[in-house]
Amino acid sequence: MSYRFLNKIVSFASDFESVEWTLGGEQSSFELGANAVFIGQHSAFELPSGNILLFDNGDQFSRGLELQLDAQNGTAEVFWEFRPTPDNFAPFISSAVRVANGNTFVAFGTARGSVGEGLGGPIAVYELTPSNRVLWRLEILGQTPSMYRARPLADIAGEVVVP
């Protein structure tokens, strides 16, 4: 469970009877490395590897972030991150999603100027390889103030490739 305003993620046992660990915020089970601190996170998800993927809304910039948890040493370190150039600050909404082929969708959902003069934006979605190569980028133009999330779709209406 992700507590955005507490900057904390909590993992509950499968029977919901106990907390397995907490990440971030006060009384975290893990000490976060200097670059592993996150603020106002969205779409936190535990990957099959045990790593945690999230969108870090941040304080001055936003990013897609994957943290590697070391339960034995009680530490959390950056395993992967994506920050576009120039930085994009999306202080609310947005998302990061790992897709089946190992790539990651990172969506910055706040339009420029929507959080203050010259701040925020642009609203943009990226698909990135594990080595951070941008496969494509979609930027939303016009008067749209925000975009809540972006999710990958295999198709829209069941389309198939015809040889």
**Cβ(36)–Cβ(53) below 8 Å:** no
Model-level pTM?
0.90
- Domain around 114: 2-139
Q: Take residue 8 and report the two structure tokens written for it.
A: 């904390």
Euclidean distance between CA atoms 124 and 62, whole angstroms = 12
Helix or strand (DSSP H, E) at 104? strand 104-108
150 assigned to some structural domain: no
- Provide the sign of the torsion angle of the four alpha carbons 137, 138, 141, 144, taken in this order: negative
Domain-embedded: residue 157:
no
Number of residues that make up the chain:
163
For residues 126 and 134, give the distance between their C-alpha atoms in angstroms, rounded to a whole number. 7
42 domain residue, yes or no: yes
Q: Is residue 151 part of a domain?
A: no
Give the model confidence (pLDDT) of 12-58 as tens digits: 999 999 999 999 999 999 999 989 999 999 999 999 999 999 999 99
In a domain? residue 53: yes
Domain presence at residue 160: no
Cβ neighbours of residue 93 closer than 8 Å, sequence gap 6 or more: 42, 109, 110, 146, 147, 148, 149
With respect to residue 62, please indicate whether it lies within any of the assigned structural domains: yes
Domain count, the chain: 1
What are the beta bridge partners of residue 19?
12
pLDDT tens readout for residues 66-111: 999 999 999 999 999 999 999 999 988 899 999 999 999 999 998 8
* 21 part of a folded domain: yes
